[in-house]
Amino acid sequence: MVGFDYILVIIGEVLIAIGIFCDLVASIGMLRFPNFYVRLHAATLGTIGGAVVPLIGAALVAAGSDFLGTYRWFMAGGAVITAILVLMLAPAGSHALARAAHRSGAAKVFPKIADHLEEDRGGMK
Amino acid sequence: MIGLEEQVTTYILYAIPIYMIAFSLYIVRALKGPTIPDIVLAIDALTYDLAAFLVILSIFFRSPILIATAIVLALWVYSLDIYVAKYLEARELGE
């Protein structure tokens, strides 16, 4: 008979492992992708897959760990709240950054085939 | 069957170096990013992952106070995103 705490900890560790894999892949992609707009893809993987998933996993591990004492519920609740905050804030922030970078021309679309957004704004160069 | 405490501690101990490798790759991109949005995007992803890493470290060190720093870190880097986007778009920071 395996205890309920043990199952919670195993599920949490599997989620943390998925998060670590996504984090490593996102950092390699952030280093090797050619321009800013392709790197946004790696940033999405790094924030949602690499931060939200291990935060949920850490909440499950903290909820199932008896050795943390009474404060483990505080740690689990704080981890879930941080996960919800990151889930709401990371797409909004990167969307605002991408919009500003394209409108101000701070990041060029360098290896480009077509940029329909720029053509729609009339800035055909 | 080893105890739960020993298993969780050993797991996190093996997870820490992989996080360190990912953080150093993000820092390389933040240092050599050609444009300002690249730097801000690298710091963005680095800080959200650092918040997750702090929560995992709070389990490792058994100190619940690290949770509060993770929440503050997530809110801070969102404000960095919004301020840099506002500055790039309008060349002023607003009132």
B interface test, pick of A13, A23, A84 with most B CB neighbours within 10 Å: A23
> What letters, b where the CB count within 10 A reaches 16 and e where it falls short, cover A51-65?
bbbbbbbbbbbbbbb
> Which ipTM did the prediction report?
0.88
Domain count, chain B: 1
Q: Do B36 and A106 touch (CB under 8 A)?
A: yes
Q: What is the pLDDT of residue B34?
A: 85
> Which residue range is the domain that position B71 belongs to?
4-93
Nearest Cβ partner of B8 from A27, A28, A65?
A65
Which chain B residues are closer than 8 Å to A93 by Cβ? 44, 77-78, 81-82, 85
Q: What is the pLDDT of residue A84?
A: 94
Say if residue B29's pLDDT is above 70. yes
In chain B, whose CA is at the least distance from the CA of A37? Answer: B38
| pLDDT tens digits, B32-84 | 878 889 999 999 999 999 999 999 999 999 888 889 999 999 999 999 999 99
pTM for the model: 0.89
Q: Do A86 and B44 touch (CB under 8 A)?
A: no
Q: How open is the CA angle B50-B53-B57, to the nearest 5 degrees? A: 135
| Weakest mean pLDDT among A81-85, A98-102, B1-5, B11-15 | B1-5
Q: DSSP string spanning B24-85?
A: HHHHHHHHH-SSHHHHHHHHHHHHHHHHHHHHHHHHHHT-TTHHHHHHHHHHHHHHHHHHHH
Which chain B residues are closer than 8 Å to A18 by Cβ? none
Which chain B residues are closer than 8 Å to A79 by Cβ? 55, 67, 70
Residue A61 to residues A5, A9, A12, B2: CA-CA distances in angstroms?
A: 9, 5, 5, 16
Low-confidence ranges of chain A (pLDDT < 50): 125
Q: What is the pLDDT of residue A71?
A: 87
Q: What is the pLDDT of residue B57?
A: 92
Helices A53-64/A72-104 angle, 10° precision: 170
| pLDDT tens digits, A37-71 | 999 999 999 999 999 999 999 999 999 888 888 88
Give CA–CA dist A7/A13, Å, rounded: 10
